[in-house]
Chains A and B, each alone.
Chain A
Amino acid sequence: MFINRRLRQLNLKIVYYGPAMSGKTTNLILIHKRANPDVRGELVSLKTNEDRTIFFDYMQMELGKIGGLTPNFHLYTVPGQVYYAATRKLVLRGADGVVFVVDSQAGRLKDNLESWDNMKRHLHELGLENIPVVVQFNKQDLPGAAPVPMLRQFIDVGDYPLFAASAIQGVGVFDTLKAVITSVLTQVSNQVVSKRPA
């Protein structure tokens, strides 16, 4: 988070995390496509020829004023492939909120769990264990997708908000985004309030 008091801007970073091919980039592409041109910046993708994220995707979004401040969201995705672990951690630095994108296909359960544990460890190592996390169960449109209640039994999502989604069809993408924005803004305002002298 970076507060620019002159521009009255509240800069917040949200990171889409999850296993390879779970649909993180697809979420961002859709958000970018649907967002009004006057609220969104350019979508930048650092990727291989096969469209796999190699470093991150990035876009910026400014959602009007709240109170006296303009929240400016910086959305990132991490590269999900296993060997990019170090890069994932770098992208996670300074995050104010995370969306964990699950690949709901039954055969991907192990990858999801591994990525989830990785995320937890990274957040801990970065001192970010208390930032809001929202979980998206993506690819629910596929016939091989496990239903959300079943996936929940395996992935220890605790009290985090959950959303079923099919990013490719545009289902659940905005609910997820709205939830993470809500959690992040609520957390920020709580911190501010709780630091006020009694």
Chain B
Amino acid sequence: MFDLPAGLDLSMEQLDQIDRCLDEMLWETEAHCILLADISGQLISEKGTTQGMNTAVLSALAAGELAATNELARLVGEPARFKLLLHEGERQGVYLSDVGEEMILVAVFDISTAIGMVRLYIRKIVKDLLAITQTPPPPKPSKQNHNDGLLSTDDLDDLLSTRFDAFFNGE
């Protein structure tokens, strides 16, 4: 696994483990859906019923909100961060939580679901997710292969010189 200065780079194995974690929580809590994103709001995994829901935007907004909330905690002199954010609607509740320093979790529940249970589950899954992402993945047999085809200069030239403009011909 190459080591980039910033950002997350999760292996297939880690992504699979994350999926299993989210699936389990979905099953146990009957959440409508659960999203995991990085702190800048880029979606890592989504589980449950997300049709008709713009999950990319949802995670971008959630990341912004958690960032703002943490800043708010700092401003009022709260030594820790606020652990969990809850938005209660008429039919659904949305819970937001940090997962360590690098990820965030969004869970959408039916309003009838017991809050206490959700809290408990979120605490558990945060721990599990941290364990998954903080374990360094086993070293790859060939680093060369691992990075192969990531980005070559030719690919880049092709994208920028021939294909770029075609993306923007709408009016």
Where the two chains meet, the residues of A that have a C-beta atom closer than 8 Å to any C-beta of B are: 1-6, 10-11, 13, 31, 33-37, 39, 41-42, 44, 46, 55-56, 58, 60-61, 63-64, 66-69, 72, 74, 76, 86-87, 90-91, 93-96, 127-128, 174, 178, 181-182, 185-186, 188-189, 191-192, 195-197
Contact = CB atoms under 8 A, between A and B. Distances in A.
Interface of B: 2-12, 15, 38-42, 44, 54, 56-57, 60-61, 64, 67-68, 71, 143-144, 147-153, 155-156, 158-160, 163-171
Contacts of A34: 168-171
A4 B57 CA distance: 18
Contacts, number: 153
B82 to A, nearest CB: 15
Q: Which 6 A-B pairs have the closest CB atoms?
A: A94-B40, A1-B7, A189-B151, A68-B149, A66-B155, A11-B42
B167 A33 contact: no
A11 B56 CA distance: 11
A43 B2 CA distance: 33
Nearest to A61: B167
A93 B4 contact: no
A174 B169 CA distance: 11
A26 to B, nearest CB: 16
Contacts of B150: 10, 67-69, 189, 192
B60 A44 contact: yes
A27 to B, nearest CB: 13
Given A2-B38, A189-B150, A196-B2, A66 B10 contact: no
Given A33-B170, A60-B56, A174-B168, A94 B152 contact: no
Nearest to A69: B150
Contact of B68 (A37, A66, A90, A189): A90
B151 A1 contact: no
